[in-house]
Chains A and B, each alone.
Chain A
Amino acid sequence: MRLLRLLLEVLSVQYGRKLKTFIRIEVTTAALAGLAFVLVVPTLDAMLQRDTGRAVTWLVVTGAVVAVYAVVGYQGKALGYEVGSTVSRALHRRIGHHVVRLPLGWFDGTRQGPMGQLASKGVVDVMGVPAHLARALIVAVVTPLTVVVGMFFFDWRLALSALVMLPLLVVMAQVTGALVKRADRRLHAARGEANARIIEFSTHQPVLRAFGRSIEGDERLDAALVEQRDATRKLLFTAVPGITGFIAAVQIAFGIVLVIGTNLALGGDVSVAEFVALLVLTVRFIEPLVVAADLMGALRLAESSLGRLSELLAEPTLPEPEKPTLPTSSEVEFDGVRFGYEADRPVLDDIDFVARPGTVTALVGASGSGKTTVTRLIARFWDVDGGTVRVGGADVRDVTTEHLMSQLSLVFQDVYLFEGSIVDNIRLGRMDATDDEVIEAGRAARVDEIVERLPDGWHTQVGEGGTNLSGGERQRVSIARAILKDAPIVLLDEATAALDPANEVLVTQALRALAADKTVIVIAHRLQTVRHADQILVLGDGRITERGTHDELIDRPGGTYAAFWSRREAAQGWRLAASPS
């Protein structure tokens, strides 16, 4: 029931109606099956008393019921599959629709794996609910119920003895469910730990192997695997008594009917033919219940997938303004901005600055000082805790996501390219660009230099994530994309990893083409970039500790910028030698 409620919750109203119709049809089918079984009693009774005429009459009635059962059943099945594909469509649409509305900060790089699982296997688990699970469950409940009701018409004592175990079955299922849930939690934790250790084992292989650990076995991994085994075993031993009890109780019910029925028949209290016919019926009563026990596992799986889906859909999205305003220029302004990823740990505190159109603002500071956070707040990865971020005079929260994004070009360090050709990837910058415009942007970003070396030129496939290109090459493609887009504000995270000299030159040329006449805010790692910036903001402990141009800051005695500069310059002149210098 919880399952159906969840399912109706994640499906919207239009799809939900179909599901309800489906359930009604399935209940009818299961009841008709029960009715057909009940009709076996008078037929069999007639046959055992050699009354062929009466037997044939009942057979005709039973046949009619079976015919209706077949027709309704067919419709149910057809609808079940239709609901299945509808569920797939509806869930995928809702996931896609919801995910694009989540704040960019939600995508922290750990989401791909679980989300991929959820949208493929998770959705399949849920799709199976109507066509397989719900169907089998309805049969397991409604058919025996109909049979028992039918039995009351023939002999209430036997019907009652078939029912005697029912409360026990319900209690057994409940208690086992609760116990299994607890053991399941332990297993879930153990599995998570084992996953982490396996990932560690494979990424740290060189380190582990250096001292023979992998050859003897990594003891941390082994401990995690053993704990996972123990937790699985615990789950098994928790579930077994419940399942055993359930199946045993079902069979005991049969035994009770047999004993009481025999007693009544021997005492002449019930007609022998009726008793034998009811025994046949009891078998039909039991079978679906045994099937139900088998379904518990699948049910739990679907329930947890559905739970995770509804959690995802409940993830709060970035609020959109009701009365959107439009930025009037490409000026970026921070006004007393306060922000933290966790409530009591501010990353930025009281940040004020203005980045004017046509200027370069360089952000400098130790790692963890909040440089990346500044650029992310402009692109509204997150909303600020205090103060205001303005673009062209408008609070970013008052600008629609679509419009805000149209004002920004983001060039990250870790560039992701979509599977497709180089041209396709550049064109993402502006979908309606002509081929000439795309190639023009590519030239400006020095992608032409890459293309010359590749067999298929501009139409070379970049591979999933762009893996066929090197880091520097990927970055140039992404810069070309930004050049084509030609947004007035450029947010740039300069590459930290050293590119080989040739790439370094070309990336620099590409960036120069991109930055011309724009409002540029750059997380600067290269000294030349910092030196020529119109404004340098030095961040420390979430605040701006110094600001100005290179010439203003470099001579300030005891200043952090001066210290930063001299250390970085020293690093540039570093020489590696085998003998200590």
Chain B
Amino acid sequence: MSDNDQPTVDGRMATADEGQTIEPVSVAEILRPVRVPLAIACLLRAVSAVAMIFPFLAVARIGEDLLADGPVDNDAVWGSVRFGIIALVVAMVTLLGAAAITHIADVDFQLDIRRRMAERLGRVPLGWFDARNSGQVKKSLQDDVGAMHHLVGHALIDTVAAAITPLATVIVLLAIDWRLALFTFVPVILGLYLYSTMMRGYGEKMQEYQDSLGRVNGAVVEFLAGIAVVKTFGEADEAHQRYTEETEGFADTFHDWVSGTLKLSNLTEFILSPVTSVMWVLTGSVVFVANGWIEPTEALPFLLLGAGITAPIQALGFSAQELQVGLAAAGRVGELLATPTLEVADSPRSPDGSDVRFDGVSFGYETGGRDALTDIDLELQPGTVTALVGASGSGKTTIARLVPRFWDPRAGSVSIGGVDVRDIDPVELYQRVGFVFQDVQLIRASVADNVRLGRPDASLDEVVAASRLARIHDRITELPDGYDTVVGDGAHLSGGEAQRVSIARLVLADTPILVLDEATAYADPESEAEIQEALSILAAGRTLLVIAHRLGTIVNADQICVVADGRIVDRGTHDTLIRESEQYQRLWAAHDSGVAGTVS
């Protein structure tokens, strides 16, 4: 709600910027772990496609034997029946085998890729999460990975089938009678030609359609988020105007698209349909037989095989859309996997002491964009309080976030105990720097485990002691299962209570350096006093950097920095600043009139 908004807006621009410079991980690279099972599956599918031709040939052969002049060779006929059935079994087993392999591989692949993504996210700069909401992360890990199912499970083997089946059929038919074979292929070639004409411009149309759908989604979100406004200000019965426009627009887009291609797509479908193929081949056969060009039984393979030649191609057409969706999702997954991570030093060093130093630090959210911070020099001594004051967007939150390395500076350095934060092992860095920003972060686990996140090996006594100090022990004992109550399931904690649990966690973690957004104290005005007590205890004896909102809170600070336009313009104690700093005086003047203000 307060000036934390600023980095979010800037951070979003930073993302767009990142997108241009990073080379995403390629789809082939993403699929690498499953390339062996996919190759085996493709092979099986190819075998199946070829095997599927033989039952038809067997039937043709049976017809030929039965219709041959003279006595029927029973053994030969039964042999063909056996052969046909065996081929059928082989075709079925390999077909199902291929599908089973890709599906089983896909299940493990999805787990693997999700783990890889989570592992990557565990190493990106914390600031990355500022610019995205958790819903987007969920979408990447769940929906995008899920959408790749078609790619892994179906697309490849379908493509193999679509290529091998017509190819094998063409070869067989050409070998039997090349003239009738060519005649049989006429509708297929015509159909394919029409199909490719139809697909021209498909990409743009598809994009238009997807965009329109995306706008519907956006309109719904806006409609729901602003429903109170819609209800209080809009016509009570009418849906939100933008919602109506976008949904009607979507129906129009869809209608225009399909009706624009209706004649062509219908013609294509008709030409490629089994009904047409059968009719066409039958006509050709009658003509060829009547002219004595072929024996009647020679027409049988054409009738059996020729009519089925288009089926896999059509199946591929049907799945083209899902394939596109899958590829797009894979592209997004690839981008996420290529997100730059926080660089970790090869030989990390341990800080000596817990003083913090900013040395000529400049920082910008966009590469090459304007500076959000310029030339910041700042020293925080152990056991002292340093306060950052200034208007919204002045950069005080950004300064504070550079200490726990949410981002790395563009120029200059931030160091702890004489060591650049970039040279400190991240685990050690976080063990030294604790931070409380505005969001309270409790995970769905027992209250004790939530406190223990600060130090996983802490005993229950230590957890209780920390909770007492954080003024939350009494409330915890009132919960149905005390410290074992699962947050969210068994208990609902108010904002202020959750805040104090997170403070208990920090007490237990006992980090020598603490970065604090004072606004946390006001997240729940009803328990403000308790939170303040807890914060006072937490702050004792540490190197403290605080983003101040209420000037009264920090009059006793050892050092106050007035931040404006990304620079520290004045610094000193309250007493010197109130005399000498014009900016500081102005902040106080505004502060006083704000406190005196009232609604009535």
A467 and B5 contact, CB distance less than 8 A: yes
User: In the assembly, what is the distance between CA of A578 and CA of B385, in Å?
Assistant: 6
**Chain B residue nearest to A420 in the complex (CB):** B242
| Contact stretch, chosen from B162-170, B283-291, B368-376, B408-416 | B283-291
User: In the assembly, what is the distance between CA of A334 and CA of B505, in Å?
Assistant: 43
A44 and B233 contact, CB distance less than 8 A: no
- CB of A154 within 8 Å of the partner chain: no
B300 and A471 contact, CB distance less than 8 A: no
A107 and B224 contact, CB distance less than 8 A: yes
**Chain A residue nearest to B74 in the complex (CB):** A266
Cβ of A495: which chain B residues have Cβ within 8 Å of it? 1
User: In the assembly, what is the distance between CA of A117 and CA of B139, in Å?
Assistant: 11
B441 and A206 contact, CB distance less than 8 A: yes
Q: A59-B282, A89-B247 are in contact. Are A226 and B111 (CB under 8 A)?
A: yes
Q: Contact flags (1/0) for B259-297 with A, using CB distance below 8 Å?
A: 100100110011001111011001101100110000011
Q: Contact flags (1/0) for A249-292 with B, using CB distance below 8 Å?
A: 00100110011001001100000110110011001100100000
Q: Which of A562-581 contact B (CB under 8 A)?
A: 567-568, 570-581
Q: Which of B81-108 contact A (CB under 8 A)?
A: 81, 84-85, 88, 92, 95-96, 100, 103-104, 107-108
- CB of A557 within 8 Å of the partner chain: no
A209 and B286 contact, CB distance less than 8 A: no
Q: A81-B258, A81-B262, A418-B222 are in contact. Are A520 and B81 (CB under 8 A)?
A: no
Option from B8, B255, B300 in Cβ contact (under 8 Å) with A81: B255
Cβ of B232: which chain A residues have Cβ within 8 Å of it? 379, 405, 408-410, 485
Cβ of B119 to closest chain A Cβ, rounded Å:
6
User: In the assembly, what is the distance between CA of A563 and CA of B264, in Å?
Assistant: 80
B63 and A262 contact, CB distance less than 8 A: no
Cβ of B252: which chain A residues have Cβ within 8 Å of it? 85
**Chain A residue nearest to B250 in the complex (CB):** A88
| Contact stretch, chosen from A3-11, A97-105, A325-333 | A97-105
Secondary structure at chain B's binding surface: helix, strand, loop or mixed?
helix
- CB of A248 within 8 Å of the partner chain: yes
Cβ of A199: which chain B residues have Cβ within 8 Å of it? 134-135, 137-138
- CB of B553 within 8 Å of the partner chain: yes
Q: Which of A369-396 contact B (CB under 8 A)?
A: 379
Q: A251-B88, A254-B88, A416-B225 are in contact. Are A505 and B590 (CB under 8 A)?
A: yes
- CB of A215 within 8 Å of the partner chain: yes
Option from B88, B240, B445, B555 in Cβ contact (under 8 Å) with A96: B240
Cβ of B543: which chain A residues have Cβ within 8 Å of it? 578
User: In the assembly, what is the distance between CA of A419 and CA of B118, in Å?
Assistant: 33
Q: A276-B66, A492-B599 are in contact. Are A47 and B455 (CB under 8 A)?
A: no
Q: Contact flags (1/0) for B28-52 with A, using CB distance below 8 Å?
A: 0000000000000000000000000
- CB of B160 within 8 Å of the partner chain: no
Option from B63, B254, B456 in Cβ contact (under 8 Å) with A272: B63
Option from A127, A467, A520 in Cβ contact (under 8 Å) with B599: A520
Cβ of A14 to closest chain B Cβ, rounded Å:
15
**Chain B residue nearest to A62 in the complex (CB):** B279
Cβ of A280: which chain B residues have Cβ within 8 Å of it? 59, 300, 303-304
Q: Which of A513-537 contact B (CB under 8 A)?
A: 515, 520, 522, 525-526, 528-529, 531-534
A-B contact count (CB 8 A): 517
Cβ of A170 to closest chain B Cβ, rounded Å:
20
A194 and B142 contact, CB distance less than 8 A: yes
Cβ of A273: which chain B residues have Cβ within 8 Å of it? 67
Cβ of A205: which chain B residues have Cβ within 8 Å of it? 121-122, 126, 129
Q: How large is the interface on B (under 10, 10 to 19, 20 to 34, 35 or more residues)?
A: 35 or more
- CB of B217 within 8 Å of the partner chain: yes
| Contact stretch, chosen from B177-185, B187-195, B355-363, B524-532 | B524-532
Cβ of A114 to closest chain B Cβ, rounded Å:
10
A196 and B444 contact, CB distance less than 8 A: yes
A579 and B541 contact, CB distance less than 8 A: yes
A63 and B224 contact, CB distance less than 8 A: no
- CB of B110 within 8 Å of the partner chain: yes
Q: Contact flags (1/0) for A26-53 with B, using CB distance below 8 Å?
A: 0000000100110010011001111010
B385 and A198 contact, CB distance less than 8 A: no
- CB of B443 within 8 Å of the partner chain: yes
Cβ of A391 to closest chain B Cβ, rounded Å:
14
Q: A96-B240, A217-B118, A276-B66 are in contact. Are A405 and B549 (CB under 8 A)?
A: no
A43 and B2 contact, CB distance less than 8 A: no
B279 and A525 contact, CB distance less than 8 A: no
**Chain A residue nearest to B280 in the complex (CB):** A66
Cβ of B279: which chain A residues have Cβ within 8 Å of it? 36, 62-63, 66
B262 and A78 contact, CB distance less than 8 A: yes
- CB of B202 within 8 Å of the partner chain: no
Question: Most chain-B CB neighbours within 10 Å: which of A47, A279, A500, A529?
Answer: A500
Cβ of A23: which chain B residues have Cβ within 8 Å of it? none
Cβ of A265: which chain B residues have Cβ within 8 Å of it? 66
Number of interface residues of A (CB under 8 A): 185
Cβ of B303: which chain A residues have Cβ within 8 Å of it? 40, 44, 280
| Contact stretch, chosen from B16-24, B345-353, B423-431, B459-467 | B423-431
- CB of B384 within 8 Å of the partner chain: yes
User: In the assembly, what is the distance between CA of A409 and CA of B233, in Å?
Assistant: 9
- CB of A220 within 8 Å of the partner chain: yes
A570 and B216 contact, CB distance less than 8 A: no
User: In the assembly, what is the distance between CA of A88 and CA of B224, in Å?
Assistant: 19
A210 and B247 contact, CB distance less than 8 A: no
A47 and B299 contact, CB distance less than 8 A: yes
Question: Most chain-B CB neighbours within 10 Å: which of A258, A417, A467?
Answer: A258
**Chain A residue nearest to B597 in the complex (CB):** A508
| Contact stretch, chosen from B326-334, B476-484, B515-523, B564-572 | B515-523
Option from B81, B134, B251, B274 in Cβ contact (under 8 Å) with A262: B81
- CB of A461 within 8 Å of the partner chain: no
Question: Most chain-B CB neighbours within 10 Å: which of A116, A429, A499?
Answer: A116
Option from A48, A82, A117 in Cβ contact (under 8 Å) with B67: A48
User: In the assembly, what is the distance between CA of A202 and CA of B141, in Å?
Assistant: 11
**Chain B residue nearest to A417 in the complex (CB):** B226
Cβ of A568: which chain B residues have Cβ within 8 Å of it? 525, 528-529
- CB of B593 within 8 Å of the partner chain: yes
**Chain A residue nearest to B92 in the complex (CB):** A251
Q: A37-B275, A405-B236 are in contact. Are A73 and B67 (CB under 8 A)?
A: no
A88 and B247 contact, CB distance less than 8 A: yes
B441 and A203 contact, CB distance less than 8 A: yes
Option from A465, A468, A492 in Cβ contact (under 8 Å) with B225: A465
**Chain A residue nearest to B299 in the complex (CB):** A47
A500 and B549 contact, CB distance less than 8 A: yes
Cβ of A128 to closest chain B Cβ, rounded Å:
10
B227 and A266 contact, CB distance less than 8 A: no
A97 and B254 contact, CB distance less than 8 A: no
A532 and B598 contact, CB distance less than 8 A: yes
User: In the assembly, what is the distance between CA of A47 and CA of B293, in Å?
Assistant: 13
- CB of B235 within 8 Å of the partner chain: yes
**Chain B residue nearest to A197 in the complex (CB):** B444
- CB of B308 within 8 Å of the partner chain: yes
**Chain B residue nearest to A85 in the complex (CB):** B255
B62 and A52 contact, CB distance less than 8 A: no
Cβ of A400: which chain B residues have Cβ within 8 Å of it? 236
**Chain A residue nearest to B64 in the complex (CB):** A276
Cβ of B108 to closest chain A Cβ, rounded Å:
7
Cβ of B315 to closest chain A Cβ, rounded Å:
8
B539 and A81 contact, CB distance less than 8 A: no
Cβ of A412: which chain B residues have Cβ within 8 Å of it? 228
- CB of B243 within 8 Å of the partner chain: yes
Q: A276-B59, A402-B236, A512-B599 are in contact. Are A52 and B223 (CB under 8 A)?
A: no
- CB of B494 within 8 Å of the partner chain: yes
B296 and A502 contact, CB distance less than 8 A: no
Known contacts A47-B285, A266-B72, A501-B588; 7 additional CB pairs below 8 A are A66-B279, A202-B138, A236-B103, A360-B599, A366-B527, A498-B522, A578-B540
10 CB < 8 A contacts A-B? A48-B297, A59-B286, A77-B262, A77-B265, A84-B258, A112-B221, A240-B96, A405-B232, A418-B226, A501-B551
